[in-house]
Amino acid sequence: MAGQIVAVVSQKGGAGKTTVVMQVAGGLAERSRPFAIADLDPQESAMRWSELSAAAGTRIPVAHSVEGADAAVQLRDLAKTAGLVLADCPPSIEHPNTLAALEVADLVLVPVVPSPTDLWSTRAVEKLILQVQERRKTLKAYLLPNRVLRTRLAGEIVDFMHEFTLPVVSAALAQRNAFAESALIGGSVFQLGRAADSAQEEVRGLVRALLKELETKKK
């Protein structure tokens, strides 16, 4: 089987790409779902985080470093072996690794922090993804409200996200200490016990939404 690839993409740092990748990884591990992580970001944040996670016995595998002219081929090969790949892309839509991931991804997730500057940068990401979708009709892509605060402005910005051409995924991640704490201990929110119940439920909701879209894509 060819396997499937979920690419997490943003135009600027601070959107929470790696956090999203690692929390989804924790959710997949909780479900005993086979997967691999591909780190395409030269900063190698997913690589370092996953090394801590694997050492802590979380069932999150160490990320594979993917780069170079054959990055797209590497991702396809990894997907064939693992069945599902979470690809952490560089915070730039011009980076060759990001462009390679978009050429082979089955689903693209764009984390969006609800702030005006993040909305502006998301427009550029959306434009690129829509161009790729013109050539790759089966490519799915969704905006993910991330680090959402309980403020009126944040709520208005999340509402405004629905005016984008790309749809908003039926899940969101709030601004919670649990997500930062899980990085410190080398794992996901599922290693934090009942104190992180709310964060765990958010991640479970995101994992369910992603798997549903991927299953639909297979049919």
Confidence label for 1 from pLDDT (cuts 50, 70 and 90)? low
The reply to whether 116 falls in a domain is: yes
Quote the CA–CA distance of 55 and 47 in Å, as a whole number.
12
CB 146 within 8 A of CB 172: yes
pLDDT value of residue 152: 82
Instruction: Provide the 3-class DSSP secondary structure of residue 125.
Output: helix
Q: What is the pTM of this model?
A: 0.96
Q: What is the H or E stretch that residue 215 is in?
A: helix 197-218
What's the mean pLDDT in 147-166? Answer: 88
The reply to whether 214 falls in a domain is: no
The reply to whether 213 falls in a domain is: no
Which is nearest to 61 in space by CA: 171, 188, 167?
188
The reply to whether 42 falls in a domain is: yes
- Residue 150 pLDDT exceeds 60: yes
The reply to whether 20 falls in a domain is: yes
CB 107 within 8 A of CB 6: yes
Domains held by the chain: number: 1
Q: For the domain that residue 63 is a member of, what is the CATH number?
A: 3.40.50.300
Q: At what angle do helices 152-161 and 116-135 cross, to 10 degrees?
A: 20
CB 34 within 8 A of CB 196: no
The reply to whether 77 falls in a domain is: yes
Q: Which amino acid is at 5?
A: I
The reply to whether 215 falls in a domain is: no
**Average pLDDT value for the chain:** 94
Q: Dump pLDDT digits (tens) for 48-101.
A: 999 999 999 999 999 999 999 999 999 999 999 999 999 999 999 999 999 999
What's the mean pLDDT in 31-51? Answer: 97
Q: 210 Cβ partners below 8 Å, 6+ apart?
A: 6, 24, 107, 109, 169
Quote the CA–CA distance of 100 and 70 in Å, as a whole number.
8
What's the mean pLDDT in 134-142? Answer: 96
Q: Which regions of the chain does DSSP assign to beta strands (E)?
A: 4-8, 36-39, 64-65, 84-88, 107-112, 140-145
- Residue 2 pLDDT exceeds 60: yes
Both tokens of 37, joined, read 């992580």
Strand partners, 143: 110, 168
Could you tell me the residue range of the domain that residue 57 belongs to?
A: 4-206
The reply to whether 219 falls in a domain is: no
What's the mean pLDDT in 160-171? Answer: 94
